[in-house]
Structure 1
Amino acid sequence: MASTMQSTQHTATDGGNGNYRFALVSLTSLFFMWGFITCLNDILIPHLKAVFSLNYTEAMLIQFCFFGAYFLVSLPAGKLVKKMGYQKGIVCGLLIACLGCLLFYPAAAFATYGLFLGALFVLASGITILQVAANPYVNALGSVETASSRLNLTQAFNALGTTVAPYFGAVLILSVATGAVEGLSHAQAEAEVVKLPYLILAGMLGLLALIFAKLNLPTIAEHNESSDSDGVVTHNGKTSAWQSIHLVLGAVGIFVYVGAEVSIGSFLVNFLGEEHIAGLQESDAAKYITYYWGGAMVGRFIGSAVMQKIPAGTMLAFNALMAAVLVLIAMNSSGAIAMWSILAVGLFNSIMFPTIFSLALRDLGPHTSQGSGILCLAIVGGAIVPLLQGVMADSMGLQLAFILPVVCYGFILFYGAKGSKM
């Protein structure tokens, strides 16, 4: 069995750079889809907040359940991907995400908030497996020197998904929901508004699972453990990814980055709805989220080119500083200045996730799958930080609560300047 696996691996890797390019092109569709699905939460939050009369803390349970899946599923997903391989791990993740989307149908039919949270958890579990498999796969499809640039390029298509999703959600959920809630019961509004978008997503995820099951993608043999599953694998004197300081600090970086990015995105509709900021209706404010995520898309394409010349750590530190400054401006101003300052943060968020990810995975060798699982575990920051900001918003006001993302960007500045080199 082991010898058969080895021969398959060598055959798959013989495709060279051409095969790698095909694999990278194929993977961009995954990055687009999970970006789209994740950002759709920013539309779901104000919608369910209005329908179920939730406060900010209760509404942030949406992000808590979605990103909480990363905490519970990431490490098992790392083991799963190590056993199944990257490609089968991707197919498995797509099928589970498809199931999560289908569960929105009964959740909408019963109009129960708890069922929505359960569907989100299943959906996020599938996305978690995709993240654990696809990110290190892209990282490995080429030279170590261009890993950050390569991951930024594929993550740009993730940002394309997050750019398109707010408009999609504004048209199919919020604008429809405004009329539905006025003319129908809450239960009817849910049934009419939420079912269709997630059924469409389920169909797309199912189709992608079928396609990826048939594709002939290269296998990265250098990241596989030896055939002796009982033996201890050592790389550079380390028996576990946890022994690499730059990985552990990178996990903290992923935690605070995802927390800050998701917090800002989650509160944007409500922030732009404040009278002293822009006073926009929910359906109109949702369309402006496109600028936030669109900035991330543009920034990743630019960053992918710039990081061919400038060290990744330097770029990361600069972007973290600029993001912190923009949030502070939004906190201490009003009107158009506050509005465009908070939206512009997306441009500087752009390179952070892929850059932290690739810097943290550097030189882990056979512990790469474990390292990827640890980093995806840290995405739970998207559950915890928005919930904390929701508590702060309820107690001290929405605008002042944005101090929390500023603190997060402070740590990312440290990681780019020093922590990634430790």
Structure 2
Amino acid sequence: MQLHTPLEVPATRAPARAPWFPLALIVSLFFLWGVANNLNDVLVAQFKKAFTLSDFQAGLVQSAFYLGYFIVAIPAGVFMRRYGYKAAVVFGLMLYGAGALLFWPAAATATYATFLVGLFVIAAGLAFLETSANPYVTLLGPRESAASRLNLAQAFNPLGSITGVLIGQHFIFTGVERSPAELAAMDVVARTAYMKSEAAAVQMPYLVIGLGVIAWAVIIAVTRFPRTASTEDGGVLVERGVLGRLLRDGRFMSAVAAQFFYVGAQVAIFSYMIRYAQATMPGTADKAAANFITAGLLCFMAGRFAGAALMKYLRPARVLSTFALVNVVLATTAAFVPGSIGIYALVASSFFMSIMYPTIFALGVEGRGDTERKFGASLLVMSIVGGAVVTAAMGATSDRLGIAHAMLVPMLCFVAIFLFAWRRSRGQEAAA
């Protein structure tokens, strides 16, 4: 998932030249968490097959993952301010690796709950990485080139996302699929063996990922990084009254709500894209269905460039409202015109989702002082818990109404985003 927070460069003494090896190690983290995020989209489909889950139960993959982000985000920030950027990165990688290694006993015992615990631990590690890596990149080199370094680093995230899907497509999906009727016709021994083999398919990929991530943590731990003297004051986070003011500010809280709905819609659509393709286009193999996620991620990348170009000529709120309205139409199309038209509509929706997270974020904190911006940023980042809530709601809707009609859940999310952007656009025009 492409969830990046626009960050200001901390006031700090920066080195005259970017140390290329330490910088490369930190930039690689953007790739690594992209792999983890989008492997989840494959796991939703794989676990549904391995454990014969309902759509709601399969969606708990994302619920466990994004709850990990939500719960650990603030502790990760406190840890980083207490022990420093490098320590937070190493600790985050160790958690990431430990969570991945939990997949081995989870698969050996074919226990879905243990997989969910592993995903929660992975997400906790990623919360540490995302909290620390973004500002750390800005410190590893001259201040005047900090923005370009951060943009370069973020370019590796979608590459990781696509790699994650490809890993799942080629190393987790077995290509062996059984219909409910075929499963019912099997005896207990054969059915149990089939399900265990599907659960075991995740063992080796996650073992390699886990060991590789831990090795990366060791390399970072023994690498000498330049000293960075940040003047950030952790005490600002406990300034009285700031949080209360933000929570009572309807304009700001509408941005938090919009971010909640955006992240929920994005995660839900990608999580159930394979399921949608297989359910509405009978005969589609899981490996073939995974290609639609890859296509969606490529559209997402293209949308980032197109959106940035449009915002040179149009107000961001106007672009956001237009993109949200287009996605209302596309999600409605997927709901009521299932099949090839519906799946292509979902792929196209990725293009128009691409600008939503950073644009909502920027609109939420614009015009605020430094302290309120920091508090506001924390609340906006925490709103990614929408990925846990909306995905579960979509799964429950699918179980009752079918996967096609479940696309009305993200459609309603896009309606909420449109209303936010439309009101903000009208406010900007009135102010002008």
TM tier, shorter chain? 0.7 to 0.9
Distance 2:21 2:316 in 1: 25
Cα distance change, pair 403–384 in 1 and its aligned pair in 2 (3 A):
same
Q: What code does the residue aligned with 1:349 have? A: M
RMSD of aligned residue pairs (Cα, Å): 3.7
The equivalent of 1:255 in structure 2 is: 260
> How far is the alpha carbon of 1:131 from its aligned partner?
2.6
Q: What code does the residue aligned with 2:270 have? A: G
Does 347-356 or 387-396 show the bigger shift? 347-356
- Please, what TM-score do these two structures have when normalized by structure 2? 0.80
Whether 1:198 aligns to 2:218 is: no
Distance 1:208 1:370 in 2: 32
Q: What code does the residue aligned with 1:224 have? A: D
The equivalent of 1:162 in structure 2 is: 161
> How far is the alpha carbon of 1:240 from its aligned partner?
6.8
> How far is the alpha carbon of 1:34 from its aligned partner?
1.4
Distance 1:206 1:342 in 2: 36
Structure 1: gaps spanning 5 or more residues: 1-8
1:175 match: secondary structure: coil
Distance 1:136 1:205 in 2: 21
Does 315-324 or 210-219 show the bigger shift? 210-219
Distance 2:406 2:122 in 1: 29
Whether 1:373 aligns to 2:386 is: no
Distance 1:48 1:351 in 2: 31
Q: What code does the residue aligned with 1:66 have? A: F
The equivalent of 2:83 in structure 1 is: 84
Contact preservation (8 Å) 1:316, 1:416: yes
Identity %: 33
Aligned pairs for 1:234-313 (under 5 A) are 238=242, 242=246, 247-275=252-280, 277=281, 279-304=283-308, 306-307=310-311, 310-313=314-317
The equivalent of 1:13 in structure 2 is: 13
Structure 2: gaps spanning 5 or more residues: 1-9, 179-189
Cα distance change, pair 219–414 in 1 and its aligned pair in 2 (3 A):
farther
Contact preservation (8 Å) 1:272, 1:279: no
2:174 match: secondary structure: helix
Whether 1:316 aligns to 2:315 is: no
Distance 1:381 1:356 in 2: 14
CA deviation profile, 1:302-339 (whole Å, cap 9, x unmatched): 44555456544333333222222211222222433212
Aligned pairs for 1:45-56 (under 5 A) are 45-56=44-55
Distance 2:67 2:324 in 1: 25
Whether 1:337 aligns to 2:341 is: yes
Distance 1:271 1:100 in 2: 28
Cα distance change, pair 342–368 in 1 and its aligned pair in 2 (3 A):
same
The equivalent of 1:209 in structure 2 is: 217
1:54 match: secondary structure: coil
Q: What code does the residue aligned with 1:342 have? A: L
Cα distance change, pair 286–216 in 1 and its aligned pair in 2 (3 A):
same
2:234 match: secondary structure: coil
Distance 2:424 2:175 in 1: 47
> How far is the alpha carbon of 1:190 from its aligned partner?
2.6
Distance 2:245 2:195 in 1: 49
Distance 1:241 1:78 in 2: 21
Query: How many residues in Structure 1 have an aligned counterpart in Structure 2?
Result: 402
CA deviation profile, 1:231-288 (whole Å, cap 9, x unmatched): 9648xx947784566653333222111110111111111111124x464122211122
CA deviation profile, 1:145-197 (whole Å, cap 9, x unmatched): x97x9877654432222222222201101135659x98944324433x11111
